[in-house]
Structure 1
Amino acid sequence: MITITFIDHGNHATDVEAEVGTSLMQAAANNAIDGIVAECGGCCSCATCRCYLDEEWVSKVAPAEGMEKAMLECEEDERPHARLSCQVTLTENMNGMTVYLPENQY
């Protein structure tokens, strides 16, 4: 298990434990984190699981590719380090990672 800190739009931090190998989206869902809608259930087709990685952790996460990258490029989002949480697979080296959630997903 690793620990991930989710910080909502109101700057409230919630630490959760998550299984290595699951997605960041699943970790949020398993721990009732508000702010990750994930309408498509993690199929990378809706972009309602958007989040922002803390700059310190960006290098520890594989870069966005393919469909995720295309979907993120279509978003009018000016915050750096945006990712679709369904496409981030948790690894041991992400223990302690901080993830910011948007005000809304629409």
Structure 2
Amino acid sequence: MGEGNRSSYNSQGLQPRRGFDAPKGAVKMDMTAKKKTTNFTENFQELEEITRWFDSSEQLDLDAGLKKFERGLQLASELKKKLAEVENSVEEIKAKFT
């Protein structure tokens, strides 16, 4: 066993089995998909919190209300865009099977 090859061997002197590792990017894709789902969920929850804030406030702080209103519109726009993407994906999947 040459010194240059040592890094490709484990402590028992065996090479790792090929073909059983997850493809490069597979874990990353799962994490990305999870992050996107989490972002959608978090964004939706934040929008609900903003809505509750407006519903529960008897006297509104105009400056805070304006900031929350702007953030709410931003969140609504992002959520609407994501829902449209999902709807398009569903239609593409359905088209494959009809």
After TM superposition, the score normalised by the length of structure 2 is 0.18
Which one has the largest radius of gyration?
Answer: 2
Q: Identify which of structures 1 and 2 has the higher relative contact order when contacts are C-alpha pairs closer than 8 Å and 6+ apart.
A: 1
Higher helix proportion (structure 1 or 2): 2
After TM superposition, the score normalised by the length of structure 1 is 0.17
Higher strand proportion (structure 1 or 2): 1
